[in-house]
Amino acid sequence: MKHLRIWACCLLTVFGFSGTASATRTESLARWLFETAKELPRSHAPGETEPEEHARLERVSKGYAQAVVPYADGKGWTGSELAMALLILIAEETKLDKRIHEGTGHPVWHEDHGRSKCLGQVQASGLVPRQIWATLTGSDDDATLRCAEATATVWVSMAKQCGVWYSQRASRAGVAATFMAYGSGGSCTPDERAWSRADKWLARMQKRPDRSPIRGYRRAFPSEIPEDVRREATSLLGSEDFHIGHERRMGFGSPPRSWAFRVEAHADGKIGVSVLLEENPE
């Protein structure tokens, strides 16, 4: 039972959305996206007041926080990594403009001559069938969520195509490749604009809510935690060191890699052991 307990804790801490804590994590992520959105350069539609814009940005933030939940399953990026990439994407593509959000048309930006819709500038494709694509514009909750889900679907597909999704955390290079693929329809070789967007993502991720509690270490994927590391983490449960804030660092493997174990309080109120791996210096 101890093994199951620590494993559940690790899943919760590493990947951001798990079990009964999902709603709380999604709400926290939405708050972070909203605060970030207010700091990003935006295009203001005539007649939209600041309170109205903030209410709309709250809907956007909630929609994108919800849209990433199915992908935060431990197979690829975390929910916050994906959500921030999507927020940077829509802010760069549309400046979060109300007219593009609602689908009423921008006086200058032609949205690929009508082929792209909503804040994600999504086009009809095999990933987003035309009957769904036609429903993506609108600033109400439902339309905003549909746009967010379509944007996430295309983004994750591009990340997989570029080979930067499975069993990986998001990185500057991986995000840049996906920005390029999303905008070009398939090329994974970043240009200057894609690198610039990736740098904006990286700067925002320094304040991410699921950041590692130990500098120089990242939260480990379940698939990369060897049995001897699991046993060491399990040994902390019930020991005299099992108290919040305790850290232990040890080397495992050949050549050895440094692993860290930290006792933390998780979102559902339980206490568990988080497993972290030293960042690759490359």
- Residue pLDDT, tens place only, 108-155: 877 777 799 999 999 999 999 999 999 999 999 999 999 999 999 999
Establish if 8 belongs to a structural domain. no
Q: How large a percentage of the chain has pLDDT more than 70?
A: 86
Tell me which residue of 98, 11, 90, 92 sits closest to 52, measured CA to CA.
98
Specify whether 183 is located in the same domain as 117.
yes
Tell me which residue of 81, 70, 87 sits closest to 144, measured CA to CA.
87
User: Helical H runs in the chain?
Assistant: 2-15, 22-39, 50-67, 79-94, 98-102, 130-133, 141-161, 172-184, 192-205, 227-236
pLDDT at 24: 66
Specify whether 226 is located in the same domain as 137.
no
Could you tell me if 8 and 70 are in contact, meaning their C-beta atoms sit under 8 angstroms apart? Answer: no
Specify whether 182 is located in the same domain as 46.
yes
Establish if 36 belongs to a structural domain. yes
Stretch 47-54: mean pLDDT: 96
Question: Domain tally for the chain?
Answer: 2
Specify whether 132 is located in the same domain as 259.
no
pLDDT at 13: 34
Q: Could you give the CA distance from residue 38 to residue 33 in angstroms, rounded to a whole number?
A: 9
Q: What is the pLDDT of residues 157-208, one digit of tens each?
A: 999 999 999 988 899 999 999 999 999 988 999 999 999 999 999 999 877 6
Tell me which residue of 23, 28, 88, 34 sits closest to 60, measured CA to CA.
34
> Which letter, b or e, does each residue of 10-49 get, where b requires 16 or more Cβ atoms within 10 Å of its Cβ?
bbbbbbbbbeebbeebbebbbebbbebbeebebeebeeee
**Tokens at 162, concatenated:** 């570029």
pLDDT at 67: 98
Specify whether 52 is located in the same domain as 191.
yes
Specify whether 77 is located in the same domain as 135.
yes
Specify whether 194 is located in the same domain as 169.
yes
Specify whether 101 is located in the same domain as 235.
no
**Would the pLDDT of 42 be above 60?**
yes
Establish if 5 belongs to a structural domain. no
Mean residue pLDDT of the chain comes to 86
HSE-CB at 101 with a 13 A cutoff on CA atoms is: 25
Specify whether 238 is located in the same domain as 190.
no
Last residue of a domain, one of 205, 238, 261: 205
**Tokens at 268, concatenated:** 């559902």
Establish if 212 belongs to a structural domain. no
Specify whether 255 is located in the same domain as 156.
no
Establish if 211 belongs to a structural domain. no
Q: What is the pLDDT of residues 103-119, one digit of tens each?
A: 998 878 777 777 999 99
Specify whether 34 is located in the same domain as 138.
yes
Stretch 36-48: mean pLDDT: 95
Q: The domain containing residue 39 runs over which residues?
A: 17-205
**Tokens at 189, concatenated:** 């070789």
Establish if 42 belongs to a structural domain. yes
Long-range contacts of 133-138 (CB under 8 A, 24+ apart): 136/103, 137/101, 137/102, 137/103, 138/101, 138/102, 138/103
